[in-house]
Amino acid sequence: MKLREFAQQLGLSPTTVSRALSGYPEVSEKTRKRVAEEAARLGYRPNINAVRLATGRAGAIGVVMGRTGEFHFSEFMGGLAERLSDDDIDILVSPLDEKDPESEIQLYSRLADSGRVDAIIVHSATPNDERIALLHRLGMPFLVHGRSETDVPHAWLDIDNEGAIRRATSHLLDLGHRRIAMINGRQGRTFSLHRDKGYRDALEARGIPFDPRLVAHGNFTDELGFRFARSFLEQTPRPTAFVAGSMMTALGIYRAARSMGLEIGREVSVIAHDDVFPYLTAENMVPSLSATRSSIRAAGARSADLLLQLLAGRPTSEIHELWPVELILRESTTPPQDA
Amino acid sequence: MKLREFAQQLGLSPTTVSRALSGYPEVSEKTRKRVAEEAARLGYRPNINAVRLATGRAGAIGVVMGRTGEFHFSEFMGGLAERLSDDDIDILVSPLDEKDPESEIQLYSRLADSGRVDAIIVHSATPNDERIALLHRLGMPFLVHGRSETDVPHAWLDIDNEGAIRRATSHLLDLGHRRIAMINGRQGRTFSLHRDKGYRDALEARGIPFDPRLVAHGNFTDELGFRFARSFLEQTPRPTAFVAGSMMTALGIYRAARSMGLEIGREVSVIAHDDVFPYLTAENMVPSLSATRSSIRAAGARSADLLLQLLAGRPTSEIHELWPVELILRESTTPPQDA
DNA sequence: AGATTTTACCAAACCGTTTTAAATTTGTGC
DNA sequence: GCACAAATTTAAAACGGTTTGGTAAAATCT
């Protein structure tokens, strides 16, 4: 049913009906109520594409999906979608062709002036992120999940990676560990740098020298967790503890330790960052995994909120949220054997 | 830039320009070329929402995202998005509120007549799936990833679950196993039923009686893998081999075996179904995991193709695709110790 | 060369809303 | 009961394309 027909049945003009449904003030309460009731009864719903054309709003926000190591992506999306569906806003997913490194900035560029989205979410930012500069230049609203160090103003939601890893590392130091390896995320990403900093600061506070041979960077896969852990454990003296960037990395470390006959929680301690997944929990690993924890699904939901606020006109400069991270100690962290 | 202005600059009518860009035949080759070149040069692109309103097409397909145990979801989506982005078709993600079982059919219903999507993908079908009946009734094109046994005609793309599990089970039987446990997917889903059938047929072919105490159903999480495996291994005599529904389930089984001091690949054999993830590979597990394998990302890409064909008018009855599944033997399957 | 078809293009109607600017009705103060 | 302001309602003009139904020019046929 079209607006015109519906309005006719009510004996009202399309204008009034449109306003009644959109909650504009210049409609009497009585009329508004009647319109709402009849709309429900007759099943009238405005044509979404006509609305979009008339308002110029896309009614959707864009998310770029990378290809590798993105097992946390669907959790973040889930949170986002959960919150956004209340407001009748769609999520538009664009895949990134990671074979071509040039393509990323082009993809954001295309997405921004495609008119398909009102705002964009930027993931895994770098300290001087080209995408942020681009979107700012184009005037496309966006929220960074994570942070950048660029001068370009940007709304962001991040977790306290630095603090989390500082505490995790400090905890291992408290237990007596002195050779602590870290398997971090992809080099160059802000969150990786923050984690590096947390790690180094914790060491420095104890006067332990930083050893670059104990730090590795890469995607969050069990494969890399295994390979890095393996090569670290082959060093002499070998590290007695690991700080892992993700659950998958931790799986790889567990595997590496086992493959060398080392017992996690006795000969090797492990602490990882856990984004909280319904299908793989730190609690359930054997031994149970000590972890810094922050729900990435909750972050997705909150990102949606912030994006809506941004679109509603709240200034970018106000939208900065830093979430604390829990540290949960379980069986995988114990004092070093030879301490 | 609007069509009108752009056309004016070219000295053509909006009609001709529109047709030239959409590839209609009643435009001379010379003109078409000129229009295309100028469009690229001046950066003209039709307003997507105007196109949608005028054509009545949404330019998007809908996917419903469940909440639990959906770690394969993003891989499927990735394949889908990869293919769909070539055709300028969006993916619209709707989250399912799994607290309320009523809401699922309502969600599909809303999605179908929201006008936001041209087609919908249905996952994890049941033999007599309400959603399929609904979409058919509403005349909304859809593709089932998986299959149903309903009389309602539906396009589908499925992997040969039955054959895969039959071969996996047969392989274990060939090795000499007689007590083979299976941890399957959620009860009632067609794919689970097909896997059950493959399992039972393999047993029957050898005259091994089916023992319901060796079969469990549930979401694909490591937690359930662990719990079920644990309770199976506590039986006497205990099973000597497992058929697992997913990689996460396999992780749980590995963990359960270890927690009971049993060595995988010697005292317990495991074979799982692997959807192929970039961040967790069967090859890399220790011991490496024998698996039935089929890329869910490839299935996503192909689903997009089929959906496009469906929208282009190919009859539903022609769109049925059953993919064979590879069986890859690795270290986790060996003859039983006491055989 | 004239009649007929084909090719290439165009003017105007349409898609279904929102929003601007103006008209009507209702309410208030005197 | 009247002038004036406030509260409602409306007609008409966007929004930016696609598509229908023609028309003029070029090509083909008699």
Q: List, in order, residues 6 or more apart from A307 with CB less than 8 Å away.
A: A61, A119, A121, A141, A143, A155
What mean pLDDT comes out for the span B190-215?
97
Q: Does A137 share its domain with A173? A: no
Q: Does B184 share its domain with B309? A: no
Contact B282, B291 (CB under 8 A): yes
Q: Is A222 on the interface with B (CB under 8 A)?
A: yes
pLDDT in tens, A144-190: 999 999 999 999 999 999 999 999 999 999 999 999 999 999 999 99
User: CA–CA separation, A17 vs A5, rounded Å?
Assistant: 11
Question: Could you tell me which residues are beta bridge partners of residue A152?
Answer: none
User: CA–CA separation, A59 vs A224, rounded Å?
Assistant: 39
Q: Does B230 share its domain with B259? A: yes
Q: Does B216 share its domain with B252? A: yes
Can you read off the two tokens belonging to residue A51?
A: 């609305």
- Residue B68 has a pLDDT of 63
- Residue A260 has a pLDDT of 94
CATH of the domain at B76: 3.40.50.2300
What mean pLDDT comes out for the span A29-35?
92
- Residue A99 has a pLDDT of 76
Residue A277's nearest CA partner among B284, B92, B219 is B219
Q: Does B134 share its domain with B249? A: no
Residue B221's nearest CA partner among B99, B67, B64, B71 is B71
Q: Does A189 share its domain with A213? A: yes
Q: Which amino acid is at A296?
A: I
Distance from CA of B85 to the nearest CA of A (A): 7
User: CA–CA separation, B276 vs B299, rounded Å?
Assistant: 11
For residue A242, the SS3 value is strand
Q: Does B165 share its domain with B276? A: yes
pLDDT in tens, A74-95: 899 989 998 998 888 999 988 8
Q: Which nucleotide minimizes the distance between its C1' and the CA of B26?
A: C8
- Residue A25 has a pLDDT of 85
User: CA–CA separation, B220 vs A242, rounded Å?
Assistant: 28
Q: Does A167 share its domain with A239? A: yes
Interchain CB distance below 8 Å, B67 and A280: no
User: CA–CA separation, B270 vs A126, rounded Å?
Assistant: 42
Q: What phi-psi label fits residue B196: left (phi over 0), alpha (psi between -120 and 50 degrees) or beta?
A: alpha
Tokens 């609904």 sit at which residue?
A: B134
User: CA–CA separation, B203 vs B172, rounded Å?
Assistant: 10
Distance from CA of A118 to the nearest CA of B (A): 12
- Residue A72 has a pLDDT of 85
pLDDT in tens, A119-133: 999 999 999 999 999
Residue B222's nearest CA partner among B67, B71, B65 is B71
**B1 in any annotated domain:** no
User: CA–CA separation, B332 vs B285, rounded Å?
Assistant: 9
Peptide bond before residue A287 is cis, with ω within 30 degrees of 0: yes
For residue B81, the SS3 value is helix
pLDDT in tens, A279-336: 899 999 889 999 999 999 999 999 999 999 999 889 999 999 999 999 999 999 999 9
Most confident of A62-66, B87-91, B314-318: B314-318
For chain A, how many structural domains are there in total? Answer: 2
- Residue A150 has a pLDDT of 96
pLDDT band at B69 (very low <50, low <70, confident <90, very high): low
- Inform me whether the pLDDT recorded for A339 exceeds 50: no
Sheet containing strand A269-274, strands side by side: A215-217, A180-184, A241-244, A269-274, A290-293, A326-328
User: CA–CA separation, B173 vs B169, rounded Å?
Assistant: 6
Query: Comparing B113 with B158, which gets the higher pLDDT?
Result: B158
Can you read off the two tokens belonging to residue B255?
A: 């963990």
| Phi (first) and psi of residue B326, to 5 degrees | -75, 150
- Inform me whether the pLDDT recorded for A69 exceeds 80: no
Q: List, in order, residues 6 or more apart from B43 with CB less than 8 Å away.
A: B1
**A102 in any annotated domain:** yes
For residue A145, the SS3 value is strand
User: CA–CA separation, A63 vs A53, rounded Å?
Assistant: 22
pLDDT in tens, B245-292: 999 999 999 999 988 999 999 999 999 999 999 989 999 988 999 999
Q: Count of residues for chain B?
A: 339
**B203 in any annotated domain:** yes
Q: Does B128 share its domain with B191? A: no
- Inform me whether the pLDDT recorded for A109 exceeds 70: yes
**B181 in any annotated domain:** yes
Selected for mutation to probe chain B from A93, A106, A274 (highest B CB count within 10 Å) is A93
Q: Does A276 share its domain with A171? A: yes
Selected for mutation to probe chain A from B279, B289, B332 (highest A CB count within 10 Å) is B279
pLDDT in tens, A266-293: 999 999 999 999 989 999 988 999 999 9
pLDDT band at B338 (very low <50, low <70, confident <90, very high): low
Q: What is the dihedral of CA A245, A289, A293, A166, to 10 degrees?
A: -60
Q: Is A109 on the interface with B (CB under 8 A)?
A: no
User: CA–CA separation, A282 vs B155, rounded Å?
Assistant: 40
Q: Is A103 on the interface with B (CB under 8 A)?
A: no
Mean pLDDT of chain B: 93
pLDDT in tens, B1-37: 899 999 999 999 999 999 999 988 889 999 999 999 9
Peptide bond before residue A127 is cis, with ω within 30 degrees of 0: no
Q: Does B185 share its domain with B144? A: no
Q: List, in order, residues 6 or more apart from B112 with CB less than 8 Å away.
A: B120, B134, B135, B138, B140
Contact B282, B265 (CB under 8 A): no
- Inform me whether the pLDDT recorded for B339 exceeds 50: no
Cα of A152 vs its chain's centroid, Å: 20
User: CA–CA separation, A53 vs A70, rounded Å?
Assistant: 34
Residues 8-67/B with CB < 7 A to strand C = 11-16, 26-31, 50, 53-54, 56
Mean pLDDT of chain A: 93
What mean pLDDT comes out for the span B147-170?
97
The range of the structural domain enclosing residue B256 comes to 161-294
| Phi (first) and psi of residue A273, to 5 degrees | -95, 130
Please measure the distance between the N-terminal and C-terminal CA atoms of chain A and give it in whole angstroms.
77
- Residue A51 has a pLDDT of 95
pLDDT in tens, B124-146: 999 999 999 999 999 999 999 99
User: CA–CA separation, A240 vs A177, rounded Å?
Assistant: 6
Q: Does A89 share its domain with A236? A: no
- Inform me whether the pLDDT recorded for A68 exceeds 80: no
Interchain CB distance below 8 Å, B71 and A45: no
- Residue B102 has a pLDDT of 81
